């Protein structure tokens, strides 16, 4: 069985390569803009690598050649930075997804598994979980969410015109693992916050708002859901989240800090001002999503995929914080530990501002 993973060198892609390495009889092809070095080691070795910018004008033709003979395609590729270049993000995320769908159709691939997100959902409740029937129309004001919702609409049209293709959409919460820590710092925090203080397991102040209730899942558990989707026969959308719901109160309790009530307009204003000042790379859309996306029920994944998380959300968060304190990374380009990249101190000294530059 030949499986092509588009975006195989990132956070989830790395975990999926680890997971699929344990399955007999599989041939794995990885697609990335910047492929890992031949000496990158596990889990990148043993993979048939192909270089492709999925947002390029000729991407569909290139991908169709790569997809030829594949039994399934997993589409994980998504560009989060540079956040100050909206056109580049849309080119990769929506234009690139359109190219992947076109190539799947051209190559006659029988199954497509797509990395959707909790961010695809419309604003919803924070006091009870919703199923996959909740509208996947996005959160206004979040470019990430709006793009995820647009790709969901592309998939709707693709399924209508290609009913023979089995399409699976996984909608996970926040995805954490130790090795992704440096990448997450670069993409969402930037070089100025002293993350090494996390080695003490202490967060002194935690902003609190009744709408700041989020869900997370360990990358290895997300990878297991992808493997089950690829190797099984399920179709449709699946929420992938672990308990407990992460609230400011729970985080403060477990990391020996105090909650500080902060009104939503203040959260938005701080995010906007610090982003515009190039102090950190995450625009206000991430605050909008945190405040507005609903809580998700993973019941369908439990029953139809046979999926259960092996790591709870709080443990996954603790692992991520440990990785941040230790600047954990892997040998793939997007998860690199290089200090010269945008979002790190060395990059800042070289004039690479948070939220700018492509590749990031």
Residue 83 scores a pLDDT above 90: yes
CA angle 139, 319, 82 (to 5 degrees): 40
- Give 160-213 pLDDT, tens digit per residue: 999 999 999 999 999 999 999 999 999 999 999 989 889 888 999 999 999 999
Q: Residue 293, SS3?
A: coil
DSSP state of 279: S
For the record, the structure tokens of 294 come out as: 């609903």
pTM of the model: 0.97
Q: Is the pLDDT of residue 279 over 90?
A: yes
Q: Are residues 237 and 254 in the same domain?
A: no
In this predicted model, what pLDDT tens digit does every residue of 89-120 receive, in sequence order? 999 999 999 999 999 999 999 999 999 999 99
Look at the block and give the residue holding tokens 């307009």: 265
Helices 143-161 and 96-107 cross at an angle (nearest 10°) of 20
Given a contact cutoff of 8 angstroms between Cβ atoms, the answer to whether 324 and 185 are in contact is yes
The answer on 162 and 91 residing in a single domain is: yes
Query: Is residue 22 situated within a structural domain?
Result: yes
* Same domain flag for 61 and 75: yes
Quick one: 37 and 103 in the same domain?
Answer: yes
Asked if the structure places residue 16 within a domain, the reply is yes
Q: Which of 319, 337, 326 is nearest to 221 (CA)?
A: 319
Task: Kindly state whether residue 40 falls inside one of the protein's structural domains.
Answer: yes
Domain count, the chain: 2
Strands annotated E in 149-227: 166-172, 174-176, 205-208, 214-218
Helix (H) or strand (E) holding 275: helix 264-276
Q: In whole numbers, what is the pLDDT of the chain averaged over residues?
A: 97
- Residue 359, pLDDT > 90, answer no
pLDDT (mean) for 25-52: 97
Please compute the mean of the pLDDT values over residues 142-154 and round it to a whole number. Answer: 98
- The boundaries of the domain holding residue 324 are 177-215+245-294+311-349
pLDDT value at position 358?
87
202 and 109 inside one domain: no
Q: In terms of domains, do 236 and 142 share one? A: yes
Claim to verify: residue 74 and residue 183 sit in the same structural domain:
no
The model's pLDDT over 18-34, given as tens digits with 9 standing for 90+, comes to 999 989 999 999 999 99
pLDDT per position as a tens digit, 288-324: 999 999 999 999 999 999 999 999 999 999 999 999 9
Q: Are residues 123 and 183 in the same domain?
A: no
pLDDT digits (tens, 9 = 90+) for 315-350: 999 999 999 999 999 999 999 999 999 999 999 999
Residue 260 in any domain: the answer is yes
- Any idea what the CATH number is for the domain that residue 70 is in? 3.40.50.720
Paired tokens of 38: 């031949």
Query: pLDDT at residue 256 above 90?
Result: yes
Same domain, 202 and 222: no
**Can you give the pLDDT at residue 196?**
85
Report strand pairing: 242-246 vs 166-172.
Answer: unpaired
My answer on whether 119 and 20 are in the same domain is: yes
């Amino acid at each position: 069985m030949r499986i092509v993973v588009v975006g195989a060198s990132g956070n989830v892609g790395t975990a999926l390569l680890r997971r699929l390495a344990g399955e007999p009889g599989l041939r794995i092809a990885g697609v990335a803009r910047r492929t890992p070095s031949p000496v990158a080691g596990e889990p990148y070795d043993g993979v048939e690598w192909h270089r492709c910018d999925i947002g390029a004008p000729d991407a569909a033709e290139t991908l169709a050649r790569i997809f030829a003979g594949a039994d399934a395609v997993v589409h994980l590729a998504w560009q989060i930075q540079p956040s100050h270049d909206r056109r580049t993000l849309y080119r990769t995320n929506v234009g690139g997804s359109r190219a992947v769908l076109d190539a799947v159709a051209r190559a006659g691939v029988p199954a497509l598994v797509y990395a959707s997100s909790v961010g695809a959902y419309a604003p919803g409740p924070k006091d009870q979980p919703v199923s996959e029937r909740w509208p996947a129309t996005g959160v206004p004001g979040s470019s990430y969410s709006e793009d995820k919702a647009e790709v969901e609409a592309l998939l709707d049209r693709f399924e209508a015109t290609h009913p023979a293709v089995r399409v699976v959409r996984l909608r996970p919460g926040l995805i954490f693992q130790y090795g992704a820590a440096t990448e997450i710092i670069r993409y969402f925090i930037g070089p100025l916050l002293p993350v090494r203080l996390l080695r003490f397991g202490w967060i002194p102040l935690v902003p609190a708002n009744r709408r700041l209730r989020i869900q997370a899942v360990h990358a290895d558990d997300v990878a297991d859901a992808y493997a089950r989707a690829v190797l099984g026969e399920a179709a449709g959308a699946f929420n992938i989240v672990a308990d407990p719901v992460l609230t400011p109160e729970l985080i403060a309790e477990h990391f020996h800090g105090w909650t500080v009530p902060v009104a939503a307009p203040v959260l938005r204003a701080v995010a906007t001002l610090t982003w515009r000042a190039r102090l950190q790379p995450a625009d206000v859309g991430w605050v909008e999503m945190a405040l507005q996306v609903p809580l998700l029920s993973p019941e369908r994944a439990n029953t139809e995929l046979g999926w259960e998380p092996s790591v709870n959300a709080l443990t996954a968060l603790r692992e991520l914080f440990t990785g941040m304190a230790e600047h954990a990374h892997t040998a793939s380009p997007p998860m690199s530990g290089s200090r010269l990249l945008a979002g790190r101190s060395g990059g800042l000294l070289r004039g690479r501002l948070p939220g700018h530059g492509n590749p990031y």
